[in-house]
Amino acid sequence: MTFKPFHHLTLRVSSIKRLGNAIVCLELEDPDGWELPPFTAGAHLDLHLPEAGVRQYSLSGDPAVRNRYEIAVRRIGDGRGGSRWIHDRLSVGDVVYSSLPRNHFSLGPAYAEYILIAGGIGITPLRSMTFELGRAGKPYSLWYCARDEAHAAYVDELRARVPRERLSLTFTGPEQSARLDFGALLREARADTAVYCCGPSTLMNAVREATRHWPQEAVHFEAFAPACAVEPGAEHAFEVELARSHRTISVQEGQTILQALREHGVEVESSCEAGVCRACKTDYLDGLPVHRDLVLSVDERRTSMLICVSGCSSKRIVLDR
Ligand code: FES
């Protein structure tokens, strides 16, 4: 196993459950049995996977359980290799290295009600939220769609634990003919209600569209897969002006802003480099960004961009850095 130097936690795989061919559920513990650092619902771990690099996985378990973390991983045959490595190479007893839990998708406490919408393996952070909301006595509804039960996780556990009136399971079939009607579900924008959505881009785009009339700060998205089915590199060369450091840097065709800044010695924080984790979120002051992430809200996109994937349709973009 290749040692990755930037980790904070050493975790031992204590359980692996296979759900059909597509999904594995893992439990991770401290190798010496100590309590693990706390997390809040919606948090993820950056796992450092040998041969595959750093990958983000949402914590799916109950935040009140302190002696194990739970994650679920769908096998993505044509992905970047992280899920294949977990499915094919990881065994009970193996050690993995991880960041501390980080949360960009936390539950806002100020709402009277919560609508949770999950697609496929996107159930993971929302399952964690059901524990937290249930304990706090907050009303919520969980709308979970997947192609079929083999492409869904925790279905039996959700059926057994979540009150029936709060759980809606939709299996769309291979043609996706039984899709949820988000227009009807989200027609009424309610000021006291928050929406949390995690799933594939088609589902998140449908929810984004159906919530355009909602207060944008009440609508939250988390991507579970890299946003870049699109190539993240620039389609044409442009210039990045760094307003605070008074520098101008050229981004070449095929390059990302992040790569160009690094090439010129500018230090930029990053993690997933796939438009998912927000670590590289940067405010822009001028220019026309092309947003390629799946996680920023409409409001956030008015002022910020994720420079590991997003580009620019103008000749110049000015960043607040
Ligand atoms: S590094 Fe993760 S979103 Fe840019």
Q: How many separate domains does the chain show?
A: 3
CA distances from 170 to 29, 49, 89, 164, 284 (A): 33, 33, 32, 14, 40
φ, ψ at 22 (rounded to 5°) = -95, -25
The pLDDT > 70 percentage for the chain reads 91
Q: What are 157-192's pLDDT values in tens digits?
A: 999 999 999 999 999 887 665 578 898 999 999 889
Do residue 253 and residue 285 come from a single domain? yes
Question: Would the pLDDT of 293 be above 90?
Answer: no
Question: Domain containing 192 — which CATH number?
Answer: 3.40.50.80
What is the CATH classification number for the domain harbouring 275? Answer: 3.10.20.30
Q: Phi and psi at residue 144, in whole multiples of 5°?
A: -120, 120
Helix (H, G, I), strand (E, B) or coil at 58: strand
8 Å CB contact between 166 and 142: yes
Last residue of a domain, one of 157, 192, 222: 222
Question: In this structure, are 218 and 124 located in the same domain?
Answer: yes
Q: Are residues 86 and 181 in the same domain?
A: no
What is the pLDDT, as a whole number, of residue 150? 82
Ligand 1 neighbour 272 (Cβ under 6 A)? yes
Residue 99's identity, in one-letter code, is S
Q: What is the pLDDT of residue 176?
A: 62
Any atom of ligand 1 within 6 Å of the Cβ of 287: no
> What is the average per-residue pLDDT within 211-239?
75
126-140 average pLDDT score: 97
Choosing from 105, 228, 280, 307 the residue with most ligand 1 atoms within 8 A of its CB, the one to mutate for a pocket test is 280
pTM over cut 0.85: no
Q: Are residues 117 and 209 in the same domain?
A: yes
In a domain, 232, yes or no: no
Domain hosting 304: range is 238-319
In a domain, 1, yes or no: no
Q: Which residue has the higher pLDDT, 215 or 223?
A: 215
Task: State which H helix or E strand residue 55 sits in.
Answer: strand 53-58
Is 230 a residue whose pLDDT tops 50?
Answer: no
Cα torsion 226, 67, 23, 141: sign: negative
> How many whole angstroms separate alpha carbon 263 and alpha carbon 25?
39
Sole residue written with tokens 């709060």:
166
Alpha-carbon distance of 59 to 249, in angstroms, equals 38
Q: Are residues 118 and 143 in the same domain?
A: yes
In a domain? residue 230: no
In whole angstroms, what is the distance from residue 117 CA to residue 113 CA?
A: 13
The per-residue pLDDT for range 63-121, each reduced to its tens digit, is: 999 999 999 999 887 667 788 899 999 999 999 999 899 898 999 888 999 999 999 99
Which is more confidently placed, 147 or 243? 243
CB 60 within 8 A of CB 112: no
Shared domain for 119 and 54, answered yes or no, is: no
For residue 177, report the distance from its CA to the centre of ligand 1, in Å.
34
Most confident range (mean pLDDT) of 42-46, 87-91, 267-271, 282-286 is 282-286
Assign 106 to helix, strand or coil.
Answer: coil
Output the CA–CA distances (angstroms, integers) from residue 252 to 236, 259, 285, 319, in the order listed: 7, 10, 21, 17
Burial class of residue 261 in the structure, from the number of CB atoms within 10 Å of its CB (0-12 exposed, 13-18 middle, 19+ buried): buried
Does residue 2 form part of some domain? no
Higher pLDDT, 225 or 145: 145
Domain co-membership, 49 together with 81: yes
| Cα 272 to ligand 1 centroid, rounded to whole Å | 5
- Residue 156 confidence (pLDDT) above 60: yes
Over residues 24-45, mean pLDDT? 96
